[in-house]
Amino acid sequence: MWRTIDITNHPCYSHSELVNFSRYAIERSCGHLEDISIEDFGTDEVLKYIADSGSHLRQMRLWKCLGITNKGLREAVTKLPMLEEFEISFKHLSKASLEFIGKYCPHLSVLKLNMKEVKSFKFDDQAFAIAKTMPHLRQLQLLGNRLNDKLDYDDYYECDCGCDIDWGNEGVYDEADAFAEYYGLA
């Protein structure tokens, strides 16, 4: 029985092979999956399979999974109440998705969010959604966002447990870079 799964895309495997491999690995966990990391190939279908099979899931890392949508993420987190640590790189994680994560993952203590955003997008609404729905975080990392420098988030984020907050802005791209990267031209 497998409790930890780490699958990274490799050029030797097709997308369908990686999806089948991930399904097989999740099946081998026999419902006792605690930690999963998916990189470069995740889709709503894979995420749904994880959620349907992972009621014991405590840690999840979704890195550069362009096939995952906000809707798919919202549907999945409703089935992951034991999630404690969540790391995700996402093009645009909506306010509604963050509110779902906060509502349906009450044990969440670590949230690492890397958003390679275009310069015209502001992250303020998402930051406030995190502050409002995830009061028990111990570690919060927001990279590649465009927070409004005039707002004092540390005052707004009333965390009674000494949350370590990283409001970093590394990885912010302009629109041309984001377009080129998304379409594989970078």
Domain count, the chain: 1
Q: How many helices (H) and strands (E) does the chain have?
A: 7, 7
Top mean pLDDT of 21-25, 61-65, 71-75, 165-169 is at: 71-75
pTM of structure: 0.78
Tell me how far apart the 2 most distant CA atoms of the chain are, in Å. Answer: 50
Q: What is the DSSP string of 48-92?
A: HHHHHH-TT--EEEEES-TB--HHHHHHHHTT-TT--EEEEE-S-
Can you give the residue range of the structural domain that contains 161? Answer: 4-182
- CATH of residue 139's domain is 3.80.10.10
Q: What is the pLDDT of residues 115-174, one digit of tens each?
A: 765 454 556 777 788 888 998 899 988 776 665 544 444 545 554 445 666 655 544 434
